[in-house]
Amino acid sequence: MSLAAGRPVIAIPGPSPVPDRVLAAAHRASPDIYGEELAELNLRVVAQLKRLAGTQAHLAPYIGNGHAAWEAAGANLFNPGDQALALCSGHFGRSWAGHMEQMGINVERLDFGNLPADPALLARRLANDTAGAIKAVMVCQIDTATGVMADIPALRDAMGDHPALLVVDAIASLGCAPMMMDDWGVDVLISASQKGLMCPPGTCFVWFSDRTAARGRTALTTPYWDWHLRADAEALWRFWGGTPPVQQIFALDEALRMILDEDGLFAVWARHAALARAVWATVDAWAEGGTGIRLSVDDAAARASSVTAITLPGADALRAFVAEQCGVTLGIGLGAPLPEDALRVAHMGHANAAMILSALGTMQAGMIALGIPHGPGGLDAAARVLAEPA
């Protein structure tokens, strides 16, 4: 007998749960796209997105997903044949590097497996680049496949006075983990609407610093992707390179109000961190006794606060059980050595303690039902973390 009736719980690392308030805000007919109301709302969303990233620099919005934002950044940063250095800690870093290669960029990869990028190795590589040929260093703040979080300020420090730009993919981290683009010296920041921003997929954003803007256009900068046209826009249609995504702007406005003005960024970051610790505590308990269950990232300081990747023998069967019997959807083991024995639990965006406990509790039920060995006390461990004073 299935127990899945009731409100579904989605714990995949994007698209993340969209608050009812955000869906309701989007449920509106389009006003005149040449009218004042929408133009003002758009300006407010742009200002809020800069607050979210901790920057006063430039912002170019696009209709598209995270891959569109990758392409937008690439088309503005590089000439064909330019050299870039990609710091990879999982599937997304490698996939981004491959995307840039297909655009004709000469990408060198430093692959750290499921460890965070090592600032000392970066410093050593850049010290060898005495000609300053490397135009950009690319890194995912959180690699959503491994759940590795990079230390962005440490990487910036390691770059010293090398002229390369620091380009950060914050698609799985913005609105989940701290980001202070200007204070940290990030030159280009990339994100999208459907993860920490709690909105439906469909819009993406590239923030870029003054020193990046000063580099001007490249041979790859076609009119649609040109970030100057959007960042310097005055007319609404210019921001979006055509018809604005009207209902998405309504949704973004509501979501950013919730994050920035109601909860507050510090509280949102702290909530993500607490939910993440609850998941880690549970998995550590399940790991007891050599069950083969383990977190994919050993060092807690290098773990993402938005998604946890777990090695768990029988993960595919467990995902099917919790979906069919309990109404909980977990993430697949993307990029894991044995994908059928790996899964991911997202604690990203509009997730609360109840949703995380339901994911963990139904996983434990599934492990009992399927005979998957697991150490005792997993749910008690989560409850103890959640009981800690905020």
Ligand X SMILES: *Cc1c(COP(=O)(O)O)cnc(C)c1O
Min dist. Cβ of residue 96 to ligand X (A): 6
Phi, psi of 111, deg, nearest 5: -100, 120
Answer for the pair 177, 306: CB distance below 8 angstroms, yes or no. Answer: yes
The smaller minimum CB distance to ligand X, of residues 201 and 313, is found at: 201
Q: What is the DSSP letter of 85?
A: E
The CB-of-332 to ligand X minimum distance in angstroms stands at: 13
C-beta of 369: minimal distance to ligand X in Å? 31
Select 185 or 201, whichever has its Cβ closest to ligand X.
Answer: 201
Look at residues 309, 304, 308, 281 and name the one whose alpha carbon lies nearest to residue 375. 281
From the list 287, 328, 282, 331, the residue with the least C-alpha distance to 307 is: 331
Q: Which backbone phi and psi does 134 adopt, to 5 degrees?
A: -75, 120
Q: Nearer to ligand X by C-beta: 144 or 296?
A: 144
Whichever of 194 and 362 has its CB closer to ligand X, that residue is: 194
The two three-digit tokens of residue 225, written as one number: 């992707």
C-beta of 196: minimal distance to ligand X in Å? 10
Is beta strand 148-149 parallel, antiparallel or unpaired with respect to 142-143? antiparallel
C-beta of 138 vs 315, nearer to ligand X = 138
Measured distance CA(191)–CA(188) in Å, rounded: 10
Residue nearest ligand X, CB atom distance: 66
Q: Is 344 annotated as a binding residue?
A: yes
Nearest C-alpha neighbor of 233 from the set 225, 224, 241? 241
Packed helices 353-370 and 265-287: angle between N→C axes, nearest 10 degrees: 20
CB of 377 to ligand X, least distance (A): 31
- Provide the binding-site residues for ligand X, judged by CB under 6 A: 14, 65-67, 92, 140, 144, 169, 171-172, 192, 201
Residues at the annotated binding site for substrate?
A: 344
Residues at the annotated binding site?
A: 344
